[in-house]
Amino acid sequence: MRVAGDRRVAVAAAIVSGILGLGATAWLASGRSYDAGTLPSVAAAPPEVAEQVSLRRGQTLGSLFLAASLSTDERVDLLSAFGERANPRRLVAGTPVTYWRDRRDGVLTAVEVGLSPDSVVYLDRAAEGWTSRMMRTPVVTDTVFFEGSIRLSLWMAVMGSPSLQFMPSGDRAKLLDGLDRIFQWEVDFHRQVQPGDSYRVVLERAVRPDGSMRGNGRIVAAEFVNRETPFRAFWFDASGDGEGAYYDPEGRSVQRQFLLKPLEYRRISSRVRSARFHPVLRTWRAHNGVDYAADVGVPVMATAGGVVTHRGWSGGYGNLVEIRHSNGFVTRYAHLSGFGAGVAAGARVRQGQTIGYVGMTGLATGPHLHYELRRNGRVEDPLDIRTPPGDPIPDAMWPLWEEQLAEGRALLASPAFVPRVSPGAAVVAEGAEGGAEPQDEQ
C-alpha cells in the first residue's frame, strides 16, 4: 500500500511541477505541505471606454453624430454603413447609441445603435472604412414559478408582488394578461375575483441579459382558485409546431371560439345597453358594444379567426375593422388609430392577431376601443354570450396528453413554490401583494 501511495504522490508531483515548477516535486514527494500564498489582484483598465447617448425628439442619427464632434467624412461613412442594415429615418426618440473610444487617444473604434431590445446594428472601424453587422440580443430560457393570494385585486397581487420585483413591470403585466387569456371564460378578473382567491403559475420564458423577457413567455401550467372553486389549465401542443392550446385535467379545451375581449387586461368603460346618453350627439340611443378604455396605440386583437369584410372609415365608428366568422358571427372594432399589417378586405385573420390599434377616430370623446359582436344580424353582449368551446384532446393524442398532464401536475406541486428571497434568481415564487393599480382614463 505504501508503494501505491508513493506512486500517486509522484504522479501528482509530476503534474503540479509542470504548473508550479520543478521545485514542487520535492515538496510533494517528501510529503510536505506548502502554502504558496495568494497573488495580489491586478486591475487592468479596459482598452476602450463607452459613452451612451440617445436620440432626442426630432433629432436624426446624422445630427447625433455631429454633436459627437465627428468629422464630415466619418459621419458620411457611418451613415452609409448603418444604411446597409437599417433605415436611419425610421429611428425613434429614445434610440440608444453607444460610442466606443480607444482609452489612450480617444479615437472612435465602434458604434452600437439599438433598433429594439432584440437587435443592435454594430458599426466597426476597419482598415477599409466602417463596416456594419446586425447583432441579435442573446437569451437564455428559464422557468418561473409564482403563486399568491389576493387581498384587493389580481392586478395588485401580481404587479406589486415583492418577490417578482426582479421582473420588469411590463413583463409582470404580460403574466397577468396570460392568466386572463387562459381563464377568461371561467373567471371575470374584473368582477368575480374576491379576497382570498389564489393562483399558482409555471412560466417558461426567454430572458435577455438585462433581465427582460423576449415575447410573452409561455404559461405551461396554471391554477386559479375563485371562491374556493379551483380552475386548472395545462398547455398541450400535439403537433409540436407551437400552435397548441390549453386544456383542463379532463382534456376539455378551456378556450372558446371567441376571446372575451380584444385587448389585454383593461378597464371596461361602457357595456351593451338598450339606451345610453351619447356624450357627443347629446341624445339617448342604443349602445351596441363594449367600450374599453386604453391608450392610443394599444394593439387590438381579433377575438376569433375569420375574414375581414371592412377595413377603413365608417362614419361615427371612425376607422373600423369588421370580421366575419363561422356560425353567423360578425365582430366590429371601432375608433382605431391605425390598422394591423396585412389587414385588408378579404384577408383572413387568426384569433389573437393584431388587426388595429386603439384610437379616438369618429364620434369618440377619448381614446378607447368600441367592440361589437353580432350573430345573424342580432346584437349580442360579448361579456355574457357562451360561444362554442374548442375541440377536446383527440383520442389518438390521449396517451401523449396523459404523459404531459402528469408533468404539468408535478410542476404545479413543485417545491419551487416555497418562497425564496433571491432577487434575480431564475426560479422564484410569488408571495404578498402590494403596489397600486393604475387607472385608465376615458
Give 96-114 pLDDT, tens digit per residue.
999 999 988 888 999 999 9
pLDDT > 70: what percent of the chain? 79
| pLDDT tens figures, 207-217 | 998 889 998 89
Q: What is the widest separation between alpha-carbon atoms in the chain?
A: 106
CB of 346 closer than 8 Å to CB of 307: yes
- What pLDDT, on the 0 to 100 scale, is given for residue 182? 92
- What pLDDT, on the 0 to 100 scale, is given for residue 37? 64
Helix (H) or strand (E) holding 130: strand 129-136
Query: Of the ranges 40-54, 132-146, 288-302, which one carries the lowest mean pLDDT score?
Result: 40-54
Q: For residue 214, list its beta bridge partners.
A: 206
Nearest to 202 by CA among 400, 404, 428: 428
Per-residue pLDDT for 303 more than 70?
Answer: yes
User: Which whole number is the average pLDDT over 303-307?
Assistant: 93
φ, ψ of residue 287 to 5 degrees: the values are: -110, 110
- What pLDDT, on the 0 to 100 scale, is given for residue 12? 44
| pLDDT tens figures, 419-435 | 443 333 334 333 434 43
Write down the mean pLDDT value for the chain.
81
Per-residue pLDDT for 309 more than 50?
Answer: yes
Per-residue pLDDT for 30 more than 60?
Answer: no
Per-residue pLDDT for 130 more than 50?
Answer: yes
Query: Which band of pLDDT confidence, cut at 50, 70 and 90, is reported for residue 36?
Result: low
Residue 354 CB partners (closer than 8 Å, separation 6+) = 299, 300, 301, 340, 341
**What is the residue whose three cell numbers read 402590494?**
434
- What pLDDT, on the 0 to 100 scale, is given for residue 341? 93
Nearest to 304 by CA among 358, 374, 405: 374
- What pLDDT, on the 0 to 100 scale, is given for residue 269? 52
- What pLDDT, on the 0 to 100 scale, is given for residue 415? 80
- What pLDDT, on the 0 to 100 scale, is given for residue 420? 44
User: Which whole number is the average pLDDT over 27-49?
Assistant: 61
Query: Of the ranges 14-18, 56-60, 373-377, 420-424, which one carries the lowest mean pLDDT score?
Result: 420-424
Query: Of the ranges 9-23, 81-95, 246-260, 391-405, which one carries the lowest mean pLDDT score?
Result: 9-23
- Which one is predicted more confidently, 164 or 373? 373
User: Cβ of 242: how many Cβ atoms within 10 Å?
Assistant: 7
Query: Which band of pLDDT confidence, cut at 50, 70 and 90, is reported for residue 34?
Result: low
